[in-house]
């Protein structure tokens, strides 16, 4: 059947032979895909077409809602067409007008697909090139009836056409199309632990993609389920921002017999059109490193107004990268485990920054904290670089579950699959590598076993947490009342100009009367200065200005105190990350005091959630756990390589001159 799918896809794609010369290669898909959808819908409706046309005549006087129900019932599908035309009956004159009228006769959901394909624009372009009739007739002769190609295999044909479209327009492929090998791996990881449940007769499951693109994840979920249980049903849901990708996705779902009202157009972060839905499986490949400035006000309002009753309760990442917002959105779509519901699983592809960006207390850290402290993260898989069409960066699959088996509770599996790639025979944009079936099988097997191996490591969730304590050191100031440069800087300060002239004169006179060039005590300096001012009052802002310009930190100086307590020097303030589970005072005694004996922990800085000293943070330093030291090559070997290169250069120069 695989060869039949490829053959049929090639037959359809051969329409490109007609387009060559008049259209760019990147335009082929925008013509071929909507015509394929149109021909498939036409073939699906053919058996009941006469009955539908008869029903149109008999329901003319009825209200639209009643007429709609009767027409849908008569067609036997989730859509219908009320036109007497077909691709083979467009005629040779007024082809464009006839085709436009034919398409507009589809029911609303089906017609919307052609609207978002900008099909009327395509009709005009083909008419201008005098190709519309030829293209329409080419498709009219392709048999896409359900008896010849069932929904499942028609879906595979359509996916093959989408892939060819993506390859022919590399500049935009990464925005709309996730490579098939990545889709297959992510889907397998999310579905694999539920194989036993999915093989039960009559099983119904739901899958959701908030960044649906052309529907790759939804299609792959259906394919996976079909392979293990062809009688099971997977209801697909999705939302997509790009109109063209939305049209392709909706068309694909319609071709596969799905309820296309579940596929929505719009920005998922600002306008969740499936707000009240929860799903068994969630799959997503959100855009990498894209800012969310356009929806910032809406997202922040939801965060502040709804808190944990909304989608973004744990926190908000920095505006420059919205990846973690999509992850929070998916978590909000999980079903709570219950007697009649096993819970939900998530597979999402993210770049490296969500693993570690943001220190303790930041939005990113708080999001990781929520995920790990609620034991939602099941596994992380590091993918090879150069796996996507529009970027070569490192990427990771996050697998989340709210119904982990007992042996996995409180644990996270890291799988380093970065070396399990095969080279592409021909690069597609930035995609130079792919995962073959054996690599996917190996990764899924590692995940299913959930055990240590050379490329898989198991950690408790607390291993990624730490408590950031603030380490203070005392303020020790030495004063230099006669230092010319310091005195000049003092008088150049704008704050100095705001002081009363009498006070300025008194201060300069008093400083000139100090006997010492250097004083190692703030208290002694202030007492002597007060005495030398001879009754002139010393305001606090003025003394602060003197400290700013005439003093500097000096370890030989006396500790500055306020109300008998050492005063901290903010310039020497530091932070230490103490692993969760370790006593902060034991850590401080061992790691800090031997180097700075006069330091102390600022115990006023506590975590807002648990009230203990120090802010809790979480990061997942994936690469550190798999780092392998590579010793430098011997100098002799490097010298030999340099000599060889030098000789080669000299030889090339000689050839140029000769």
Model confidence pLDDT, tens digit, residues 284-298 = 999 888 899 999 999
Helical pair 119-128 and 108-116, crossing angle rounded to 10 deg: 50
Specify the residue for token string 């008569």: 74
Q: Which residue has the higher pLDDT, 70 or 92?
A: 70
143, 168, 193: which is the final residue of a domain? 168
Per-residue pLDDT tens over the stretch 302-317: 999 999 999 999 999 9
> What token pair was written down for 304?
């502040």
pLDDT value at residue 339: 73
Q: Give me the pLDDT at residue 340, please.
A: 72
Q: Which of 615, 568, 616 lies closest to 596, judged by CA?
A: 568
- pLDDT, residue 196, reads 67
pLDDT at 50: 95
How far CA 234 is from CA of 226, 259, 278, 279, 285, in Å, comes to: 9, 11, 14, 11, 20
What pLDDT band is residue 78 in, cutting at 50, 70 and 90?
A: confident
Helix (H, G, I), strand (E, B) or coil at 313: coil
Q: From its phi and psi, is residue 91 left (phi > 0), alpha (psi between -120 and 50) or beta?
A: left
pLDDT of residue 352 exceeding 70, the answer is yes
Report whether 100 contacts 122 (CB < 8 A).
no
**CA-based radius of gyration for the chain:** 35
Domain-embedded: residue 443: no
Placement of tokens 């909507």 in the chain: 34
pLDDT tens-digit map of 365-385: 999 999 999 999 999 999 999
pLDDT band at 176 (very low <50, low <70, confident <90, very high): very low
Q: Which of 392, 355, 366, 378 is nearest to 623 (CA)?
A: 355
pLDDT at 408 over 90: yes
Mean pLDDT, the chain, rounded, equals 90
Cα angle value 371/373/379 (rounded, 5°)? 55
Q: How many domains does the chain have?
A: 2
Domain contains 447: no
Residue 610 is assigned to a structural domain of this protein: no
* Alpha-helix residue ranges (DSSP H) falling in 476-593: 484-492, 494-497, 501-512, 522-532, 540-550, 584-591
Average pLDDT rounded to a whole number, residues 157-163: 79
Query: With pLDDT > 90 as the criterion, what percentage of the chain qualifies?
Result: 67
Segment holding 138, helix H or strand E: helix 132-140
Q: Residue 109 falls within a domain, yes or no?
A: yes
Average the pLDDT over 125-136 and give the result.
Answer: 94
Q: Using alpha carbons, select from 284, 282, 411 the residue that is nearest to residue 335.
A: 282
pLDDT for residue 546 is more than 50? yes
Q: Which of 566, 596, 629 is the last residue of a domain?
A: 566
Asked if the structure places residue 320 within a domain, the reply is no
Residue 613: the pLDDT is: 96
- Cα–Cα distance for residue pair 201/390, rounded to 1 Å: 41
Residue 616, domain member (yes or no): no
Query: What pLDDT was estimated at residue 234?
Result: 87
Query: Are the CB atoms for 282 and 344 separated by under 8 Å?
Result: yes
Instruction: pLDDT band for 636, please (50, 70, 90 cuts).
Output: confident
Q: For residues 513, 517, 520 and 523, what is the CA-based torsion angle, rounded to 10 degrees? A: 10
pLDDT for 616 equals 97
Does residue 173 surpass a pLDDT of 60?
no
Residue 175, pLDDT > 50, answer no
Is residue 244 a part of any domain in this protein? no
Over 90: is that where the pLDDT of 169 sits? no
Query: 174 pLDDT exceeds 60?
Result: no
Specify whether the CB–CB gap between 217 and 200 falls below 8 A: no
The answer to whether residue 541 sits within a structural domain is yes
pLDDT tens, position by position, 488-541? 999 999 999 999 999 999 999 999 999 999 999 999 999 999 999 988 999 999
pLDDT greater than 60 at residue 256: yes
**Does residue 586 carry a pLDDT above 60?**
yes
Task: State the pTM of this model.
Answer: 0.84
Average pLDDT on 84-92 reads 90
Of 201 and 491, the structure prediction assigns the larger pLDDT to 491
The pLDDT of residue 26 is 82
pLDDT tens readout for residues 25-58: 888 888 999 999 999 999 999 999 999 999 999 9
Which of 276-285, 332-341, 393-402, 568-577 has the lowest average pLDDT? 332-341
Q: Name the domain boundary from 544, 566, 588.
A: 566
Print the domain residue range for 143.
1-168
- Give residue 289's pLDDT: 81
| pLDDT at residue 1 tops 70 | no
pLDDT attached to residue 345: 96
Please give the distance of CA 537 from its chain centroid, rounded to a whole number.
61
């Amino acid at each position: 059947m695989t060869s039949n799918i490829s053959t049929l896809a090639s037959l359809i794609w051969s329409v490109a032979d007609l387009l060559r010369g008049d259209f760019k290669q990147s335009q082929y898909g925008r013509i071929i895909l909507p015509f394929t959808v149109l021909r498939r819908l036409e073939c699906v409706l053919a058996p009941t077409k006469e009955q539908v046309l008869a029903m149109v005549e008999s329901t003319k006087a009825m209200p639209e809602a009643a007429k709609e129900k009767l027409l849908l019932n008569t067609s036997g599908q989730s859509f219908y067409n009320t036109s007497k035309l077909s691709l083979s009956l467009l005629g040779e004159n007024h082809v464009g007008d006839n085709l436009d009228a034919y398409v507009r006769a589809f029911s609303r959901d089906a017609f919307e697909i052609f609207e978002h394909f900008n099909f009327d624009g395509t009709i005009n372009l083909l008419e201008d090139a005098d190709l519309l009739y030829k293209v329409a007739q080419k498709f009219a002769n392709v048999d896409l009836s359900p008896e010849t190609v069932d929904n499942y295999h028609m879906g595979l044909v359509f996916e093959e056409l989408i892939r060819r479209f993506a390859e022919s327009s590399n500049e935009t492929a990464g925005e709309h199309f996730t490579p098939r090998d990545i889709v297959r791996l992510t889907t397998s990881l999310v579905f694999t632990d539920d194989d036993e449940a999915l093989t039960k007769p009559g099983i119904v499951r739901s899958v959701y993609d908030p960044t649906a693109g052309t529907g790759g994840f939804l299609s792959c979920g259906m394919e996976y389920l079909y392979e293990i249980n062809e009688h099971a049903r997977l209801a697909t849901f999705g939302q997509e921002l790009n109109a063209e990708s939305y049209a392709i996705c909706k068309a694909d779902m319609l071709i596969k017999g799905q309820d296309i009202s579940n596929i929505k157009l719009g920005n998922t972060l600002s306008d969740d059109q499936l707000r009240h839905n929860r799903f068994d499986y969630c799959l997503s490949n959100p855009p990498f490193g894209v800012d969310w400035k356009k929806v910032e006000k809406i997202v922040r309002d939801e965060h502040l107004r709804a808190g944990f009753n909304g989608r973004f309760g744990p926190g908000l990442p920095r505006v420059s990268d919205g990846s973690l917002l999509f992850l929070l959105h998916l978590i909000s779509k999980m079903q709570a485990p219950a007697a009649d519901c096993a819970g939900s699983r998530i597979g999402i592809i993210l770049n490296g920054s969500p693993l570690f960006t943001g220190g303790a207390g930041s939005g990113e850290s708080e999001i990781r904290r929520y995920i790990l402290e609620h034991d939602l993260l099941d596994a992380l898989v590091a993918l090879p670089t150069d796996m996507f069409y529009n970027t070569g960066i490192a990427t990771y699959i996050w697998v989340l579950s709210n119904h982990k088996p007992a042996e996995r509770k409180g644990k996270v599996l890291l799988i380093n699959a970065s070396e399990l790639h095969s080279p592409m025979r021909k690069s597609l944009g930035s995609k130079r590598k792919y995962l073959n079936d054996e690599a996917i099988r190996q990764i899924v097997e590692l995940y299913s076993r959930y055990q240590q191996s050379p490329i898989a490591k198991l950690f408790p969730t607390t291993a990624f947490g730490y408590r950031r304590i603030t380490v203070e050191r005392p303020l020790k100031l030495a004063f230099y009342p006669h230092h010319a440069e310091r005195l000049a800087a003092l008088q150049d300060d704008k704050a100095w100009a705001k002081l009363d002239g009498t006070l300025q004169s008194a201060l300069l006179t008093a400083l000139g009367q100090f006997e010492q060039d250097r004083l190692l005590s703030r208290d002694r300096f202030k007492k002597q200065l007060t005495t030398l001012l001879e009754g002139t009052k010393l305001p606090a802002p003025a003394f602060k200005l003197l400290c700013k310009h005439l003093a500097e930190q000096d370890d030989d100086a006396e500790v500055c105190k306020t109300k008998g307590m050492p005063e901290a020097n903010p310039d020497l303030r530091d932070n230490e990350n103490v692993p969760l589970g370790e006593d902060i005072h034991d850590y401080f005694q061992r790691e800090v005091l031997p180097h700075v004996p006069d330091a102390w922990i600022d115990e006023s800085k506590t975590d807002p959630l648990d009230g203990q000293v120090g802010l809790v943070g979480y990061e997942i330093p994936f690469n550190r756990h798999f780092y392998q030291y590579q010793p430098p090559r011997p100098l002799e070997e490097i010298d030999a390589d340099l000599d060889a290169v030098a000789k080669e250069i000299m030889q090339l120069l000689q050839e140029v001159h000769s």
